[in-house]
Structure 1
Amino acid sequence: MEPTDFTGRLSRDRLAAIVRGRSADAALRTVLTLVEEGVDLVEVSLNTADACDVIAEAAREVGEDALIGAGTVVTRDDLLRAQDAGATWIVTPTTGEAVTAAVHERLPVLAGALTPTEAAVAVTAGATAVKLFPASLGGPAYLRALRDPFPDMPLVPVGGVDADLVPEYFAAGALAVGVGSPLVGDAAHGGDLDLLRRRARLFRSVCRRQEAGA
């Protein structure tokens, strides 16, 4: 997928799930459950147990129904391993070499940044969007403040984004939201998948209301 197409996908779906688990089997089940519930953008963090195997199996099982990404991508080697496993988009914690490598490989990349300077560096480096992390430090008000000097910057808040805050982030100008533990809970460690399904439906419902302009 071209980076510009991925921006459109973020704008349409408005929700990306973040899976990070101690159990590869549980992480895979979590990814597949999220996709079954309509969460079609799922990032598997590379510090998940056997992360590349999880990415590869998830990509095989979901086919074209969803886009499986890799998160916590720090180095070029990380990126190439994730790409070989089948990741079609990349998330980094910083604006380091992984961003440059992703741009070179024409992989969509959400580059981690917090300050205005870091966000500007990410965009200049060619990031598809800026992962505003940890968003909980400033909340929707901080994202709104960043939109003043950077009105066209695609911002995706990550970190502490619970369902109640989603409308506030969208009102502040977020392109989409990235959600880990408030959505995934302990499912990727072997926790209850029925509870995961309920949370997935809640987040999808909130995002659909935002799509409808409610």
Structure 2
Amino acid sequence: MDRAIIAILRGVTPDEVVPIAHEIMKAGITKIEVPLNSPDAVESIRRLVKDNAGRALIGAGTVLTVAQVEAVHDAGGKLIVSPNCDPEVIAHTKALGMESWPGIFTPTEAFSALQAGATGLKLFPGNMAGPGGMKALRAVLPSGTQVYAVGGAGPENFDQWGAASADGFGIGSAIYKLGMSAADVRARADEIVTAYDKVFP
């Protein structure tokens, strides 16, 4: 099952990223993002790609520039997630054959992202928009637009987001916090998958 969940490993280090990713994948989450403001993030991505053998979609978050897109691409990453909507970053990501998930908060940003070729939209911060904001935004978006809620979305409220038409989620501190063991991450990942599967069977 290809769950619409991106695991966000903010703060993870290259030496711990592979065992943590293994547990996330075993739990059933196959999209993994290493934010570029993590220690030596590109090296973590490189190690994940080398170890992964096509089992998961690997990439970077907090991607702000074309140069960063290039670095992630050179490391073998295929997923680019940003906190903002930068049409140049989106277009370059797509030109390199990678998935582009820019952060948007308003209809203006959403349509700018889609026009630039975004794969899908990251509603961020989700806890500011809330499910009500998602529902209102959905009313004007083109049919079939993929929208993930990021920030404030987790097992405790997947049902509310699902009712508001969220297609998926980016999950950060609910799945990984700095210093957590692979076993801790697995326990959280299992909880997230169980909750997700109840809302999105």
Whether these two folds match at TM > 0.5 is yes
Separation in structure 2 between the aligned mates of residue 67 and residue 138 of structure 1, nearest angstrom: 27
Separation in structure 1 between the aligned mates of residue 169 and residue 142 of structure 2, nearest angstrom: 17
Separation in structure 1 between the aligned mates of residue 60 and residue 69 of structure 2, nearest angstrom: 8
Match for residue 58 of structure 1? Answer: 48
State the Cα distance separating 1:154 from its structure 2 match.
Answer: 1.6
> 1:44-103: CA deviations, max 9, x gaps?
111111111111111111212111111111111100100111111111122212112112
Q: What's the TM-score once normalised by structure 1's chain length?
A: 0.87
Separation in structure 1 between the aligned mates of residue 136 and residue 43 of structure 2, nearest angstrom: 40
State the Cα distance separating 1:182 from its structure 2 match.
Answer: 1.2
Q: What's the TM-score once normalised by structure 2's chain length?
A: 0.92
> Across the two proteins, how many residue pairs are aligned to each other?
199
Structure 2 unmatched runs, 5+: none
> 1:163-198: CA deviations, max 9, x gaps?
1111211121111111101121x2xx3223322111
Matched, 1:173 2:165: yes
Separation in structure 2 between the aligned mates of residue 168 and residue 22 of structure 1, nearest angstrom: 30
Structure 1 unmatched runs, 5+: 1-8
- Given residue 195 of structure 1, which amino acid in structure 2 is its aligned partner? D
SS of alignment partner, residue 49 of structure 1:
coil
The RMSD of aligned alpha carbons is 1.6
- Given residue 206 of structure 1, which amino acid in structure 2 is its aligned partner? A
SS of alignment partner, residue 71 of structure 2:
helix
> 1:80-133: CA deviations, max 9, x gaps?
100111111111122212112112222110011111111111111110101100
Separation in structure 1 between the aligned mates of residue 66 and residue 40 of structure 2, nearest angstrom: 18
SS of alignment partner, residue 22 of structure 2:
helix
Q: How does 1:20-35 map to 2 (within 5 A)?
A: 20-21=10-11, 23-35=13-25
> 1:122-160: CA deviations, max 9, x gaps?
111110101100010021111011111125232111012
Match for residue 209 of structure 1? Answer: 198
Higher percent of residues as helix:
1
Match for residue 120 of structure 1? Answer: 111
State the Cα distance separating 1:211 from its structure 2 match.
Answer: 2.8
Match for residue 73 of structure 2? Answer: 83
- Given residue 89 of structure 1, which amino acid in structure 2 is its aligned partner? L
Instruction: State, as a whole percentage, how many aligned pairs show the same letter.
Output: 32
